[in-house]
Structure 1
Amino acid sequence: MSSLHKSRIAEFRDVLGEAEVALPKLRALCFSGIPFDGGLRCLCWKILLNYLPVDKEVWSSLLKKQRELYSQFLKEMIIQPGIAKANLGVSREDVTLEDHPLNPNPDSRWNTYFKDNEVLLQIDKDVRRLYPDMAFFQRPTEYPCLLILDPQNDFETLRKRVEQTTLKSQTVARNRSGVTNVSSPLKPSAPHSLSEYEVLPNGCEAHWEVVERILFIYAKLNPGIAYVQGMNEIVGPLYYTFATDPNSEWKEHAEADTFFCFTNLMAEIRDNFIKSLDDSQCGITYKMEKVYSTLKEKDVELYLKLQEQNIKPQFFAFRWLTLLLSQEFLLPDVIRIWDSLFADDNRFDFLLLVCCAMLTLIRDQLLEGDFTLNMRLLQDYPISDVHLILKKAKELQDSK
């Protein structure tokens, strides 16, 4: 370990060692990248995403409360409906019209159950594709959810729901044009049928199953947005970071902590996923146009070239912005970019500059290329050195 690296770790520990964390100092340190050592990144992200307050005295009680709350969500939204489904038909004389799966009332609990299944199937399809070039999400977690896997519990788990349902995930229309349509070379296509995946034995669960549960609980608690394709790409890097924490005490609670950090992050970016808000000032169209207006200010020649070729920001910046660049780079590089994005004072203003930097760094190729070549460059971004991109984005920020 270099002396520079050691001194950076010491700086982080100094700031985090105070009774009250100095947020401006922490942001400044995190902006340049957070060391993985000693679980620093996991802790910093939890503070930057407003899961942990700056007052360290309340951490212990707050974490206990939030983790208990998450257990309650699991009981109410997975275990209890699962028990009801498992018990259906056990004592036929007790089944009222209200309890019957064929009850036509749209507010009946069975109608809700079947609608939830549609959302679950879409989530299931998407989480199985998470970073297929990495084995991590297919591996069993060291800390399976005992509430769910308790052999004493005879109820229908999410795994059983997916296996038993005959609905097709294609019936779910809640997707966003462009989020998953354009394949990335970093994301090989995943197998298409459930039988192509190795099923873990009872008592074990893969990391992707934990992510599935987080997204399902989020969808249940946020019916206005529920689940939209692409959310899996947002929760994946968060969960990976927390589930690989070198501190086993934190790692054990990766699921609950990821859920609350994901919920807080989605509160900031959810407008990107809501189609009806696309053209509003908080919608994705406004942000895409902001990338182009920033480019025009920084590099008018390149801006005019893209305009001349009718290359609209929707063709590439939609995915860059909506998914916080999580499909453009390998996971360790995405995590490094997110250090800077989460540390941004005006959250995600820096993301616009990163997108602008990505364009200016390939300006020579874009200026020479035709429409087809340039579209290929933008949809399959050629530079993999994220440090170069972040450095350029910082230069653009400083030149304002």
Structure 2
Amino acid sequence: MKTVEEARRRWETLLGYGRNTHDLKQAVISGDSENPCENGLRSVCWKIFLLCDDLDRSKWIDRLTDTRSAYDSLKDHFLKYIKHPNDLQSTVDPLAEDEESPWQALRHDEATRAEIFQDVERCLQDNCFFREPSTKSMMLDILFVYSKLNPDLGYRQGMHELLAPILWVVERDAVTQSSKHIPVDTTDDESVMLQLLDANYIESDSFNLFCSVMQVARSFYEHTDNRPVNGEAEMAPIVARSEFIHNELLMVADHELAIHLNTIEILPQIFLTRWIRLLFGREFSFDDTLLIWDLLFANGLRATLIDHICVAMLLRIRWQLLEVDYSSALTLLLRYPALNDHGPQTLVHDGLYLSRI
């Protein structure tokens, strides 16, 4: 967390880039000056880009207040019996196999939470923040509430790795000064800052940012449960997207490379599934991933941009790929080489360029 003094300094730096959403976006996208997400308050930028994008600055707090209240209500509803199992009706037999029994629902919820917690336990354990019990508890509750809110999708492995950077960013910027106890000499700007960064809402703000990201990423995790038609199983959306990136986008951008990957029998979904589902989080360092996400969010997170970034990443290592066989190519694609001469942001800029031609 940050002290109020440090938050104030970074807030003033952030406002120096512009006092509205458009100016902040342009400052991040242009790359002509220092990144306001790094030098200002990254969590504020993300909240503005993902939650308040269409709103005038005067309405930011109203939007956040609504989303925070909504999460509190959802959590109370979905975790009621998880937190207070004694509140279940004593007249219902806990051992009954009735699918309509609230005890059956509770057992199903507990199984879901156990599955989520397995992934949370393994998440970014080299970072001490993610080893904290309080962090694990927040991640577990956020992912569980999301799964209950989206029963047709549920929880899928990998979602925890999308949530982790969001929670980390929100917690790093949070201040313990409650918005309910703002000093009398606080300016309107500082009042907005304190409410945006209120540590009481780390979990709810992280949930709402995660939900915003999942509006786009949801299709990356969808599975098809339909029975085969005419002997052929329906293709999973992520496989279809991977094939589109290879067979359509890459084939146009670099025909030679696309043909070579076909020749050595590299299936695009083998590496693109991870690239896409985790928004490149496994391919780059944690800090570089945050820089990439800054640009993704500032550009309005959209699947087409993610597709073209994948193509840009392939083009960046085309010469290495053209010279190697299946095994070496797969190693390159699953252990993406470090970007020694260029920052990770350049891949997003390349993706933007490719999306326009």
TM bucket (normalised to shorter chain) is 0.7 to 0.9
Q: Which residue of 2 aligns with 1:36?
A: 38
- 1:86 Cα offset (Å): 3.7
Q: Which residue of 2 aligns with 1:229?
A: 157
- Letter of the 1:308 partner, please give it: T
Is the contact between residue 98 and residue 104 of structure 2 (CA under 8 Å) also seen in structure 1?
A: yes
Q: Specify whether residues 317 and 211 from structure 1 end up closer, same or farther in structure 2 by C-alpha distance, changes over 3 A only.
A: same
- 1:290 Cα offset (Å): 3.2
CA distance in 2, matches of 1:352, 1:64: 34
Q: Which residue of 2 aligns with 1:125?
A: 118
- 1:87 Cα offset (Å): 5.8
Q: Which residue of 2 aligns with 1:181?
A: none
Residue segments in structure 2 that go unaligned for 5+ positions in a row = 1-9, 177-193, 227-232
- Letter of the 1:44 partner, please give it: C
Is the contact between residue 271 and residue 334 of structure 2 (CA under 8 Å) also seen in structure 1?
A: yes
CA RMSD of aligned residues (A): 2.9
- 1:297 Cα offset (Å): 1.9
Residue segments in structure 1 that go unaligned for 5+ positions in a row = 1-7, 89-93, 140-204
CA distance in 2, matches of 1:385, 1:135: 27
Q: Specify whether residues 362 and 122 from structure 1 end up closer, same or farther in structure 2 by C-alpha distance, changes over 3 A only.
A: same
Q: Which residue of 1 aligns with 2:219?
A: 271
- 1:327 Cα offset (Å): 1.6
Is the contact between residue 52 and residue 59 of structure 1 (CA under 8 Å) also seen in structure 2?
A: no
Is the contact between residue 242 and residue 258 of structure 1 (CA under 8 Å) also seen in structure 2?
A: yes
1:38-75 Cα offsets, whole Å, 9 max, x none, are 42x21121122135652222233332333233222232
- 1:352 Cα offset (Å): 1.9
1:115-164 Cα offsets, whole Å, 9 max, x none, are 1111101100001111122111113xxxxxxxxxxxxxxxxxxxxxxxxx
- Comparing 372-381 with 51-60, greater Cα deviation is found at 51-60
When you count helix as a share of all residues, which structure comes out higher?
A: 2
- Letter of the 1:206 partner, please give it: S
Q: Which residue of 2 aligns with 1:287?
A: 241
SS in structure 2 at match of 1:226: coil
Is the contact between residue 361 and residue 389 of structure 1 (CA under 8 Å) also seen in structure 2?
A: no
- 1:388 Cα offset (Å): 3.9
- 1:390 Cα offset (Å): 3.4
- Letter of the 1:329 partner, please give it: F
> How many percent identity over aligned positions?
29
- 1:281 Cα offset (Å): 11
- Comparing 126-135 with 286-295, greater Cα deviation is found at 286-295
- 1:269 Cα offset (Å): 1.7
Is the contact between residue 30 and residue 340 of structure 1 (CA under 8 Å) also seen in structure 2?
A: yes
- Letter of the 2:335 partner, please give it: D
Equivalent residues in 2 for 1:15-164, closer than 5 Å? 16-17=18-19, 21-23=20-22, 25-31=23-29, 32=31, 33-39=35-41, 41-51=42-52, 53-83=54-84, 85-86=85-86, 95-96=90-91, 99-139=92-132
CA distance in 2, matches of 1:234, 1:386: 27
SS in structure 2 at match of 1:229: coil
- 1:79 Cα offset (Å): 3.8
CA distance in 1, matches of 2:223, 2:151: 15
Aligned residues: 315
Equivalent residues in 2 for 1:172-211, closer than 5 Å? 205-211=133-139
- 1:346 Cα offset (Å): 6.8
Q: Which residue of 2 aligns with 1:187?
A: none
CA distance in 1, matches of 2:260, 2:45: 41
CA distance in 1, matches of 2:343, 2:70: 42
1:177-208 Cα offsets, whole Å, 9 max, x none, are xxxxxxxxxxxxxxxxxxxxxxxxxxxx4312
Instruction: Decide which of 308, 311, 329 is 1:353's aligned counterpart.
Output: 308
1:221-275 Cα offsets, whole Å, 9 max, x none, are 2111111111101111111111111544415111100111111221222111111
CA distance in 1, matches of 2:273, 2:255: 21
Q: Specify whether residues 87 and 212 from structure 1 end up closer, same or farther in structure 2 by C-alpha distance, changes over 3 A only.
A: same
Is the contact between residue 305 and residue 351 of structure 2 (CA under 8 Å) also seen in structure 1?
A: no
